[in-house]
Amino acid sequence: MGLLVTPVMRKCLPRLKPFSRLQITLRHLSMTKDPSAEVLLEKRGCAGIITMNRPKALNALTLSMLQQIYPQLKKWEQDPETYLILIKGAGEKVFCAGGDIKAISEAGKHGDRLRKDFFREEYRLNNATGTCKKPYVALIDGITMGGGVGLSVHGHFRVATERTVFAMPETAIGLFPDVGGGYFLPRLPGKLGYFLALTGFRLRGRDVHTAGIATHFVEAEKMAALEKDLIELISPTKANVADVLDSYHKECKLDQEKEFILGEHMDKINSLFSANSMEEIVQNLKKDGSPFALDQLKTIAKMSPTSLKITFRQLKEGASLNLQDVFTMEYRLSQACMRGHDFFEGVRAVLINKDHSPKWKPAVLEEVTDELLDSCFKSLGSDDLRL
């Protein structure tokens, strides 16, 4: 079978030595994957392309996917013929809805290694995207939650569309907004990150860009053209990649006049979520008594009290930590959740039985003691995450 030589490859190949040309050809062939594989890794033009390929499962991440993506990302980072890395999700509705939580829950119940390995590999990959030396472009077209946020938000560029739905809904399943949430959430404007983390509020479309989570906003129907233009760049720098993204962003008039969904509430969010404890936030919301405050109170009342207190402290501490130290902290927290009750109960109530009536233990914020919290943040010694 002959190699299909693209116009970009034709432009690039004459400048290379014959042996180098052969290497590129073989590398290109070796990455042609089974189209039914759960992750597709391919080199096209100047770009290494990662496609999460489980659309029926909302592109939820498995341990196997993490273990395939990480070494390939590292290879492309070192490869002189790869100039940018692009990540996207298969299907029209989803980038990545998170980790395969049901599998992790099942493994955790039986003390299986997956409860350690999954989080370790996931955070290692998240860190690799945050420290990647090549321009890293995430096309977050569709649902982007939990683990999908971790694969996009730490990279150089995040391109949202009108189909993007962003959320960190972990407190509803007895977990916390991990994948580096402790780093990026407290760095959002005002107390927006605390609000999103504690309530699981969903941002859609252009609001994801306005909030500072996406770097660019482009119509969904233009994404294929954008991807093609990026791939066909010749030896691009980060600035060249930014120029292409900027031009598409500037041309996009969709929802340009739309007010930010939380715009009218930002003053309230900044004051009500400025507190020294989770209990104080609840008191602030009760005292305020506005329809907006009471809605948030109702939402927070459904969340795991342990998760709320872990999350509040995670963001407080994460605000002054670097990304690597945040992942070390979050790995400790993930293992504390695997030892506890609420994660398994949350998964049962929300994802398995779907009765949405979890029985949290402890059941109220006041019963989540400082001693319990301290034990969650405590070093795991030789089991700590090493990056």
Residues marked as catalytic: 99, 147, 170, 178
Contacts 24+ apart (CB under 8 A), 315-321: 315/181, 315/182, 315/185, 315/186, 315/193, 315/194, 315/197, 316/186, 317/182, 317/377, 318/181, 318/182, 318/183, 318/185, 318/186, 319/186, 319/187, 321/182, 321/183
Distance, in Å, from the CA atom of 165 to the CA atom of 167, rounded to the nearest integer, reads: 7
Distance, in Å, from the CA atom of 283 to the CA atom of 274, rounded to the nearest integer, reads: 12
Residues in contact with 317: Cβ distance below 8 Å, sequence separation at least 6, in sequence order: 182, 329, 377
Q: Is 356 exposed, middle or buried (0-12, 13-18, 19+ CB in 10 A)?
A: exposed
Q: By the 8 A CB rule, do 71 and 106 touch?
A: no
Amino acid at 268: K
Structure tokens at 97: 């809805």
Distance, in Å, from the CA atom of 374 to the CA atom of 385, rounded to the nearest integer, reads: 18
Structure tokens at 245: 């993204």
Judged by DSSP in three states, 267 sits in helix
Beta strands in 199-331 (DSSP E): 203-204, 216-217
**Rounded to the nearest 10 degrees, how much is the dihedral formed by the CA atoms of 286, 289, 291, 294?**
10
